[in-house]
Amino acid sequence: MIMNRCLENGCRELTTDKYCKRHEMIHKIDKQVQANRDKELKQLSKGYQESERHTRYVHSDRFDEIDGQFYQQYRWQKLSKQILMRDLYTCQICNHVQSRGESMIVDHIVKRRVNPELSYSESNLWTLCRTCHNKKSSLEDRLTNIEILSTDKDYWIKMLQ
């Protein structure tokens, strides 16, 4: 058997493991304490994030949009990938091509909450970079639902260029 010194600083005990018997027990307890602490912090963090999201959006008229359940559905994820490929990962307004580390957004031309029937319609979806998406969203917030219903790609391209 190969004997090594205990890895604990200052301990000169010879052992076949990483630590001598005394320090091995201390390290096991430390690992358990750290694992429990990490688990508690993760739970606290998760609860905080959920409560923050809840208080921020629950009273908002955009709650259904932001809810996330729609965007987590397999059908939406598959369709959004198809739209990204159709548009060649290129913003349809500024023609910016997605680069590494960037994300493009598949956007509804007419908002989902205004016309839910168009939620999965390819003709109502296009690819935008984050900058153009944010500009479009801020303009959309100023329009009434009736005005939004009358918008199309050409309208948004003209407004955002």
Domains of the chain, residue spans: 4-57, 67-160
3-state helix, strand, coil in the chain (%, to 5): 55, 10, 35
pTM listed for this prediction:
0.59
Encode burial over 42-78: b for 16+ CB neighbours within 10 A, e otherwise.
eeeeeeeeeeeeeeebeeeeeeebeeeeeeeeeeeee
Residue-level pLDDT, tens digit, the chain, 161 residues: 789 999 988 899 999 989 998 899 888 888 898 888 888 877 777 666 666 555 555 555 555 555 567 888 899 999 999 999 999 999 999 999 988 878 899 999 999 888 989 999 999 999 999 999 999 999 998 888 899 898 999 999 998 88
Give the phi and the psi of residue 102 in degrees, each rounded to 5.
Answer: -100, 155
Torsion of CA 18, 20, 21, 22, to 10 degrees: -120
